[in-house]
């Protein structure tokens, strides 16, 4: 199949490809060219209610399949993804903008999550607890939570669904998914993949449209037993409040403000390599991208110079063009916001070392930018940039670096570079983050738990921990 075969202009509800009841549609644009590449249904609460009802009906039988059957279905889903990796990656680049190599990597990661959960499906163990009563036995079992509602963002339009659909399918949950409006096609493509893998109707439902109407139905409908969300902290808080009325389980992967510390004793070339990978992946549009660089006084100037030199070499352009490593930003709002961070820093005494504004290719392309002399007064000290701007702050002592790194309400990912083993342990234990990279700038993998503390979220995705979020613990007491 080629990418156009996966580009569905319809929603996937109860095994059928359907339009929105009201008939409205939403345009989808290619961020590299501004061209409209298609339209998707503008669904609302009614369609969401139908999808939830379909998922509830499907749950009755799907939750009774054996772990072995679910593992086999997930392996077929994995094969369907890998057989079409290139087509899915092209579609992803066309709607999202990231370079094709990154899209290939993302689709590969989606497949890896599915394969991982196919393996974990067979390892959802319970317990037998030694009983305090001679005539009674105590069993603990794990049962699928029920219908899961998932809302996903535009920066990883394929793999964010994999992390949610994967464990749902592994445990016997059914799901209703709303992909981001900017990038619906990679989400809808999961409907085609589920058809290919042979999933029964209603097990996975995907709808596009009004976020507030669909989100409102998902959070208020009592049939939905869990809501899983990846996106901004304000929307995450809203969904948690809405979900409180029916006491749903929640998993929230929210914003970050990742610090990246470089100590005097670090391997500087390795630190720059990690900094480039961490900062500029997806043009800086990931929640684990380094947001604040802190370089110790002894290596500050050298680090800034090397980082700027490496940043200036990154080729910017459309994601399907050969050699491009920096695609466009997702929309014009993102460009204006990124410009705002730079203007604010310059007004407060920061210095642009490389880049500094829109790229000569026009549209939504932006120059990889390094800013020296960053201070706590600048907006990017507190807010997530979500663009290709690397501010570098100076620090003197380890204690100061840790304090600055922790001085945020976020706690998703952090990174630091040192060659001192004691410092590696000391610092990693005091950083209040869900994920720590030591001498490593990109650390996400399906086998490790992804997630944050503080206002970066609740729950973990991927790994053996990720599956626990999709099962309820049941205690069974048997009197003999
Ligand atoms: P971003 O800034 O990355 O777009 P958002 O949190 O706004 O982050 O969006 C992430 C996902 O949440 C998208 O699928 C978006 O459509 C959805 N979303 C936005 N507003 C709401 C809402 N009020 N209720 C439910 N989902 C929402």
Summarised one tens digit per residue, pLDDT across range 456-474 is 999 999 999 999 999 999 9
Query: Given a cut of 90, is residue 419 above it in pLDDT?
Result: yes
Helix 100-120 vs helix 159-171: crossing angle, to nearest 10: 10
Look at residue 21 and tell me whether its pLDDT is greater than 90. no
Distance CA 266, CA 294 (A): 12
What pLDDT shows up at residue 71?
98
pLDDT of res. 20: 84
State whether the beta carbon of 153 lies less than 6 angstroms from ligand 1. yes
Mutation test residue for ligand 1: of 44, 96, 97, 151, the one with most atoms within 8 Å of CB: 151
The answer, yes or no, to whether residue 126 has pLDDT greater than 90, is yes
What is residue 306's three-state secondary structure? helix
* pLDDT bracket for residue 338 (50, 70, 90): very high
Give the single-character DSSP code of 281: G
Q: Annotate 339-377 with b (16+ C-beta within 10 A) or e (fewer).
A: bebbeebeeeebebbbbbebbebebbbbbbbbbbbbeee
Percent of the chain exceeding pLDDT 90 equals 99
Per-residue pLDDT, averaged over 189-207, amounts to 98
pLDDT of residue 152: 98
Q: How far is the CA of 298 from the centre of ligand 1 (A)?
A: 42
Mean pLDDT estimate for the chain: 98
* 368 pLDDT more than 80: yes
pLDDT interval class at 313 (50, 70, 90)? very high
Q: What is the pLDDT of residue 168?
A: 98
Span of 23-27, 255-259, 291-295, 329-333 with lowest mean pLDDT:
23-27
* C-beta separation of 257 from 383 below 8 A: yes
pLDDT at 29: 98
Per-residue pLDDT at 387 exceeds 80: yes
Residue 283: its pLDDT value, please? 98
pTM of the model: 0.98
pLDDT the model gives residue 2: 96
Ligand 1 atom nearest to CA at 152: 14
pLDDT band, very low/low/confident/very high, at 23 (cuts 50, 70, 90) = confident
Mean pLDDT value across residues 420-429: 98
Residue 29 token pair = 């644009």
CA neighbours closer than 13 Å in the CB half-sphere of residue 417: 28
What tokens were used for 106?
Answer: 């993302």
Write the CA distances from 435 to 91, 161, 448, integer angstroms: 30, 21, 10
Q: Which residues contact 311 (CB under 8 A, 6 or more apart)?
A: 276, 279, 280, 354, 355, 368, 369, 370, 390
Q: What is the mean pLDDT of residues 423-452?
A: 98
Point out the catalytic residue in the list 90, 102, 120, 253: 253
Its sign, for the CA torsion 113, 187, 387, 452, is negative
Q: pLDDT category, 22, cuts 50, 70, 90?
A: confident
**Tokens linked to 435:** 């994920």
> Helix 421-430 vs helix 398-406: angle between axes, to the nearest 10 degrees?
30
Using most ligand atoms within 8 A of CB, pick from 48, 215, 235, 330 the residue to mutate for ligand 1.
235
Report the candidate in 294, 285, 317 with the shortest Cα–Cα distance to residue 160: 285
What span, in angstroms and rounded, lies between the C-alpha atoms of 359 and 248? Answer: 45
253 is catalytic: yes
Q: Given this model, what pLDDT does residue 466 score?
A: 97
**Strands 389-395 and 290-296: what pairing?**
parallel
């Amino acid at each position: 199949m080629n990418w156009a075969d996966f580009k569905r202009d319809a929603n996937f509800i109860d095994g059928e490809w359907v339009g929105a009841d009201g008939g409205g549609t939403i345009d989808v644009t290619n961020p590299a060219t501004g061209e409209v590449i298609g339209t998707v249904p503008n669904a609302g609460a009614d369609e969401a209610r139908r999808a939830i009802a379909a998922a509830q009906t499907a749950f009755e039988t799907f939750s009774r399949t054996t772990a072995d059957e679910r593992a086999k279905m997930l392996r077929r889903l994995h094969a369907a993804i890998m057989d079409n990796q290139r087509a899915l990656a092209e579609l992803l680049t066309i709607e999202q903008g990231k370079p094709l190599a990154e899209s290939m990597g993302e689709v590969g990661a989606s497949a890896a999550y599915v394969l991982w959960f196919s393996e974990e499906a067979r390892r959802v163990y319970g317990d037998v607890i030694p009983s305090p009563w001679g005539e009674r036995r105590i069993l603990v079992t794990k049962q699928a939570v029920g219908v899961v509602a998932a809302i996903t963002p535009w920066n990883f339009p394929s793999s964010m669904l994999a992390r949610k659909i994967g464990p749902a399918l592994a445990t016997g949950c059914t799901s209703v998914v709303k992909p981001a409006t900017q990038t619906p096609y990679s989400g809808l493509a999961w409907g085609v993949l589920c058809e290919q893998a042979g999933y029964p109707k209603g097990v996975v439902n995907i709808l596009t449209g009004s976020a507030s109407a669909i989100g409102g139905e998902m959070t208020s409908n009592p049939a939905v037993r869990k809501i899983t969300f990846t996106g901004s902290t304000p929307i995450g808080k809203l969904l948690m409040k809405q979900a409180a009325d029916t006491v749903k389980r929640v998993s929230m992967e929210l914003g970050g403000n990742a610090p990246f510390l470089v100590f005097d004793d670090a391997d500087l070339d390795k630190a720059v390599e990690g900094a480039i990978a961490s900062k500029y992946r997806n043009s800086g549009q990931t929640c684990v991208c380094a947001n604040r660089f802190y370089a110790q006084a002894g290596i500050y100037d050298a680090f800034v110079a090397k980082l700027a030199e490496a940043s200036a070499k990154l080729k910017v352009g459309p994601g399907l063009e050969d050699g491009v490593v920096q695609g466009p930003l997702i929309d014009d709002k993102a460009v204006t916001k990124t410009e705002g961070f730079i203007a604010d820093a310059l007004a407060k005494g920061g210095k642009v070392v490389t880049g500094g504004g829109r790229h000569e290719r026009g549209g939504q392309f932006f120059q990889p930018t390094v800013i020296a002399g960053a201070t706590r007064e600048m907006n990017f000290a507190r807010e997530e940039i979500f663009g290709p701007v690397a501010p570098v702050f100076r620090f003197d002592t380890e204690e100061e670096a840790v304090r600055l790194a922790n001085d945020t309400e976020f706690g998703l990912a952090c990174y630091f570079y040192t060659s001192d083993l004691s410092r590696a342990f000391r610092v990693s234990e005091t950083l209040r983050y869900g994920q720590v990279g030591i001498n490593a700038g990109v650390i996400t993998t399906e086998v490790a738990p992804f997630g944050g503390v503080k206002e970066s979220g609740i729950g973990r995705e991927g790994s053996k921990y990720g599956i626990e979020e999709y099962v309820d613990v049941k205690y069974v007491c048997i009197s003999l």
